[in-house]
Structure 1
Amino acid sequence: MNKLRLAVVGPGLIGKKHIELILQNPECELICIVAPKTDENVEIGRLLNVPLFDALNSMFESLTLDGVIISSPNIFHVEQARECIVRNVPVLIEKPIADSYIEGLALMELIEKNKCPVLVGHHRAYSPIIRVAQKIIQEGRLGQIVVVMGSALFFKPDQYFLDGPWRTQPGGGPILINLIHEIGNLRALCGEISSVQAMTSNNRRKFLVEDTVVINFRFESGALGTFALSDTASSAKSWELTAGENLSYPNYRDEDCYVVSGTNGSLAIPSMRLKYFEKEGERSWWKPLLEAQINYERQDPLAGQLNHFIHVIKGLEKPQVTAFDGLQNLKVIEAIFQSAEQAREISIH
């Protein structure tokens, strides 16, 4: 069986993970990396025994590829994706799909025009946690969803910013880097978001970008939500530290980062502790809730995403997370920025 020939653009934090998964997958192989020719990147290419290109056009002039994974800084996503799409090379674009909704919209139009397979890297869509939680909600076990509470509280070390100084500049803060994953999760669990109300602060790190955010959500279903985000909070209440899907992080199985509550019950995620009333029984805060533990098998969603991308390249599956999905998440993110700047609730049309 011929292996699919893949390139990774941007061998940074997430790029190295993509490379690792490609090397482990028997259906594909790493053909090259694309990045500035710094000493570090030259050494990465040498260790991987693959060529290093400093531009996509020179790569395409030299090699034939089956697919490209773009994991460069956010500001390059659209330009680099466009170079792949016009050549009809399937591409996986790390989130966010673009630096702005307008740029992303133009990219989506190009995708539709060229009929090129494009996948956006909201990898948690492949998580068994999300899929099991969706099933419980869709089965009506929680009743009508009333409210969701979520958090992404963690402490990023100084080295994280020294390794990527762009993370201290506009476009590199935790709203675009981290919160956009949470928006995808919230939409998957509770449906489309109709308005947001947000406050941000950079009081601790003093960078040009936020380090802490609180947001209120209104969903089209009528449900409400609240979320706290901070990359300078020493806490375990984040997806990375509770889900146990990325072994690079410690895991706290007694913690949760979401609680989805409905008229008949609530589900803590990712521990999957379900508390509920009997459907035909009396509901009262005086009455004890029944309890159940929902079991599932933890898997690496990034590995699942790569397998899906391979199937997309082969024409066996359609992209699960499309450019439209990536744009919906980005639209909510832009509304959050706008709400924080204007100190008011922002509707999302």
Structure 2
Amino acid sequence: MTTRRCVRIAVAGSGLIGQEHVRRIAENPETELSAIVDPAPAARDVADRHGVPLFGSVAELFAAQRPDGVILASPNRFHVPGGLECIAAGVPVLVEKPIAETADDGERLVAAAEAAGIPLLVGHHRRHSPLLAEARRIIGEGGLGAVVAVVGTALFRKPDDYFDAGPWRKQPGGGPILINLIHEADGLRALCGEIVRVQATASNTARGFEVEDTVAMTLTFANGALGTFMLSDAAAAVASWEQTSRENPAYSNADDQDCYLIAGTRGSLGIPTMRLRTYAGSASWWEPFESRVAAVARHDPLAAQLAHFAAVVRGEAEPLVTGRDGLQSLRVVQAVLEAARTGGVVDVAPSVQPVPPARTPAASTQN
């Protein structure tokens, strides 16, 4: 039996998500932590605890060693410069979401990676969720017919000390559109194909901050499907992926609730309960549905993402979430911001390599 090469990975950023990556590297027998990169004084404890060297910058890392891969879990503003340094060094890189602060900056990073032929992955870890994968399979195999409507929610209540600990979250750039919606945009694109047009209305009434706390959106998909989405970090509700999927035990959980409903011409699927309702015969509101819960073998999406990154580094797999994928999800979020600011309809700039719709039957756009 052939033993796989152990992949040495450096983690840039020793905050909450960085430490989650570090823990999973330690737990995976096919990966090894090579270094921590972080100028913050607290990073010393993380590096010492894992017995690896600490560097103050990515440049210092590459001056001292060449890891097989780098995970960039640093603050957003460092994603592009850190990613460019990895690409220049010829080292595959997994960049935490969002890929960049702006689409123009993200395009620079993606173009550099494509020109150099260096793997660039984006940390949209829900793509590695077995729930999302099974939902995508059901939709893609035509289990719902042609998708016509999408209803989504990300409604949760962030505590007051969340904003006290990071006052920047009360200011433009710190609202739930930029912090939270990127996950939803990427997940819905994976399920239903490209989002090509958005409308949005935002409010800051609940908290009174400079930045929004609640947003209502309408979405148009390239395949003709329409969607609505409600986002709020001030809503006392259990209607978000974090609180319904059971994939992060840190959150209070309600496993009988859905945050997405995907409806097609022959059936509908609630996610993440995976309650599937389809017509056995004629598709009519007079006919009863056949109902079942789609079985899902659960695993940790972050651990699966790490294993996938290691496989990409070894040349055994192609990136599941490419830099261009991450860039397109960022474009959707920026379109929502613009729509909320202007009150108008905003078209989403097309991706060079669009995500194919997760369905096979031909959709009709006729009424």
Is the TM value for this pair above 0.5?
yes
Kindly provide the amino acid, as one letter, of the partner of residue 264 in structure 1. Answer: R
Please state whether the residue corresponding to 1:319 is helix, strand or coil: coil
Deviation of residue 287 (structure 1)?
2.8
Question: 2:270: which partner in 1?
Answer: 268
Kindly provide the amino acid, as one letter, of the partner of residue 311 in structure 2. Answer: H
Kindly provide the amino acid, as one letter, of the partner of residue 30 in structure 1. Answer: L
Please state whether the residue corresponding to 1:203 is helix, strand or coil: coil
Please state whether the residue corresponding to 1:222 is helix, strand or coil: coil
* Aligned pairs for 1:28-43 within 5 A: 28-38=31-41, 40-43=42-45
Given candidates 101, 107, 113, the residue that maps to 1:111 is: 113
Given candidates 6, 11, 14, the residue that maps to 1:11 is: 14
Contact 1:339–1:346, Cα closer than 8 Å, also in 2: yes
Contact 1:154–1:230, Cα closer than 8 Å, also in 2: yes
Question: 2:82: which partner in 1?
Answer: 80
Give the TM-score, by structure 2 length.
Answer: 0.90
Please state whether the residue corresponding to 1:85 is helix, strand or coil: helix
Q: Distance in 2 between matches of 1:173 and 1:73?
A: 16
1:142 aligns with 2:118: no
Kindly provide the amino acid, as one letter, of the partner of residue 344 in structure 2. Answer: R
Question: 1:331: which partner in 2?
Answer: 331
Deviation of residue 168 (structure 1)?
3.8
Please state whether the residue corresponding to 2:122 is helix, strand or coil: strand
Give the TM-score, by structure 1 length.
Answer: 0.94
Question: 2:27: which partner in 1?
Answer: 24
Please state whether the residue corresponding to 1:235 is helix, strand or coil: strand
Please state whether the residue corresponding to 1:154 is helix, strand or coil: strand
Q: Distance in 2 between matches of 1:168 and 1:130?
A: 32
Deviation of residue 55 (structure 1)?
1.3
Q: Distance in 1 between matches of 2:109 and 2:171?
A: 24
Given candidates 96, 106, 110, the residue that maps to 1:94 is: 96
Number of residue pairs matched by the alignment: 346
Decide whether aligned partners of structure 1 residues 205 and 83 sit closer, same or farther in structure 2, where only a CA change above 3 A counts: farther
CA offset digits 1:240-285 (Å, max 9, x no partner): 111111222233111110001111111111111111212xx33332
Kindly provide the amino acid, as one letter, of the partner of residue 75 in structure 2. Answer: P
Name whichever of 156-165 and 225-234 sits farther off: 156-165
1:153 aligns with 2:155: yes
Deviation of residue 167 (structure 1)?
3.6
Kindly provide the amino acid, as one letter, of the partner of residue 344 in structure 1. Answer: G
Give the gaps of 5 or more residues in structure 2: 350-367
Q: Distance in 1 between matches of 2:141 and 2:324?
A: 26
Q: Distance in 2 between matches of 1:62 and 1:149?
A: 50
Question: 2:364: which partner in 1?
Answer: none
* Aligned pairs for 1:211-222 within 5 A: 211-222=213-224
Contact 1:75–1:171, Cα closer than 8 Å, also in 2: no
Question: 1:290: which partner in 2?
Answer: 290
* Aligned pairs for 1:305-324 within 5 A: 305-324=305-324
Please state whether the residue corresponding to 1:209 is helix, strand or coil: coil
Deviation of residue 47 (structure 1)?
2.6
Deviation of residue 92 (structure 1)?
0.2
Kindly provide the amino acid, as one letter, of the partner of residue 244 in structure 2. Answer: T
Q: Distance in 2 between matches of 1:84 and 1:170?
A: 30
CA offset digits 1:25-61 (Å, max 9, x no partner): 11111122122233x3233333333232221111211
Deviation of residue 161 (structure 1)?
3.6
Q: Distance in 1 between matches of 2:19 and 2:47?
A: 11
Kindly provide the amino acid, as one letter, of the partner of residue 121 in structure 1. Answer: G
Question: 2:343: which partner in 1?
Answer: 343
Please state whether the residue corresponding to 1:26 is helix, strand or coil: coil
Q: Distance in 2 between matches of 1:189 and 1:64?
A: 37
CA offset digits 1:147-193 (Å, max 9, x no partner): 01001111222343444444444433322222111111111111111
Q: Distance in 2 between matches of 1:51 and 1:153?
A: 41
Q: Distance in 1 between matches of 2:265 and 2:292?
A: 17
Kindly provide the amino acid, as one letter, of the partner of residue 242 in structure 2. Answer: E
Decide whether aligned partners of structure 1 residues 117 and 266 sit closer, same or farther in structure 2, where only a CA change above 3 A counts: same
Contact 1:99–1:171, Cα closer than 8 Å, also in 2: no
Q: Distance in 2 between matches of 1:160 and 1:36?
A: 23
CA offset digits 1:201-242 (Å, max 9, x no partner): 233334443222111001111110001111222211111111
Decide whether aligned partners of structure 1 residues 294 and 116 sit closer, same or farther in structure 2, where only a CA change above 3 A counts: same
Q: Distance in 2 between matches of 1:47 and 1:167?
A: 31
Question: 2:365: which partner in 1?
Answer: none
Given candidates 124, 129, 132, the residue that maps to 2:131 is: 129
Give the gaps of 5 or more residues in structure 1: none
* Aligned pairs for 1:234-253 within 5 A: 234-253=236-255
CA offset digits 1:289-346 (Å, max 9, x no partner): 2211211111111111100000111111111111111111111111101101110111
